[in-house]
Amino acid sequence: MIARIWTAYRFELDKAARRRFTYLGVVLIVIAVASALLIRPVSRDSEADYAFIAYATPIALNLLGLLVLVTYCAGLVSTELGSGSICLALVRPLRRHEFLIAKLLLGMTYAAMLTAAVATIAWVIPLAFGDLTGVTYGGETVFTATDMTAAYLFGALLALAPQGAVAAYAIMISTLTRSTGAAIGSAVGILLMLDIVKYPLRIAPFVFSTYIETPWRVFTSYCDGLDANWFPDTAYVLVNSVVYTVVFTAIAILSLSRRDLHT
């Protein structure tokens, strides 16, 4: 089974490399990071510019990047269902659940790609035009450059967990529709509606999208010269993300396994 999933995943990567939207999404979030200079300019003035990174990363990754990821993943299955090309994919010795797992791996890979692009540009700009020498307060170094880099890298790795849940969510919606437009519209619409009602209904701790910004809290606190702990937030992020990823994937597999692909 693992060998078949790996083969299907490599095939999906090859198809993704030929899609224009794969690169368009990356370009859009790179532009979003660069645009953050209008709000948080950087300069060589002996003051650390970590505030730019703390501002640009969530804006690019958790707002625009989230919409890009949902749009991308929502079309992964619905496009093939609508065109009927899924039947050709399953002609090979590939089971439906293996097909979906390969799609999920592609979605997670794309999430990692977006995160890497944001991180690279967000750090290159202040490195080239500003200062990243650590956070100081009253002339005393509170957090060194190494501390800041480690906090950001750990946050970026942790952010892949809720992004994986988002990818699984979008793929689940994708299996429930045949139209790519309907899949994208439904996935984005439901996600926005959840964000609107989760706090009034007091269900925010149980909604997977709540933990999108959590991985960056420690880095943001460090930027303000404040100490912060990774736990228990890290545990909340991981448990919530893993549970939702499993549930969304199971629903997608169940939906696809019961669907007549010839109608």
Q: Which amino acid is at 98?
A: E
What does the pLDDT look like over 23-81, one tens digit per residue? 999 999 999 999 999 888 888 777 788 889 999 999 999 889 999 999 999 988 877 66
pLDDT in the model for residue 17: 87
Q: Which amino acid is at 56?
A: A
Q: What number is the average pLDDT over the span 146-157?
A: 94
What does the pLDDT look like over 71-107, one tens digit per residue? 999 988 877 665 555 555 555 666 778 888 999 999 9
Q: What sign does the CA torsion over 261, 85, 93, 103 have? A: negative
Q: How confident is the model at residue 224 (pLDDT cuts 50, 70, 90)?
A: confident
Cα 196 to Cα 257: distance, rounded to the nearest angstrom: 33
pLDDT in the model for residue 78: 74
Q: What sign does the CA torsion over 58, 201, 236, 225 have? A: positive
pLDDT in the model for residue 34: 92
Cα 103 to Cα 109: distance, rounded to the nearest angstrom: 10
Q: Is 231 exposed, middle or buried (0-12, 13-18, 19+ CB in 10 A)?
A: exposed
Sequence-ordered list of residues with C-beta below 8 angstroms from that of 180, at least 6 positions apart, any chain? 74, 75, 78, 79, 82
Whether 164 contacts 241, CB under 8 Å: yes
Indicate the pTM of the whole model.
0.91
Does the structure show a pLDDT above 90 at 15? no
Residue-by-residue DSSP string for 30-89: HHHHHHGGGTS---SSSS--HHHHHHHHIIIIIIIHHHHHHHHHHHHHHHHHHHSHHHHH
Strand residue runs (E) in the chain: 135-137, 140-143
| Ramachandran quadrant class, 143 (left: phi over 0; alpha: psi -120 to 50; beta: rest) | beta
Cα 27 to Cα 248: distance, rounded to the nearest angstrom: 28
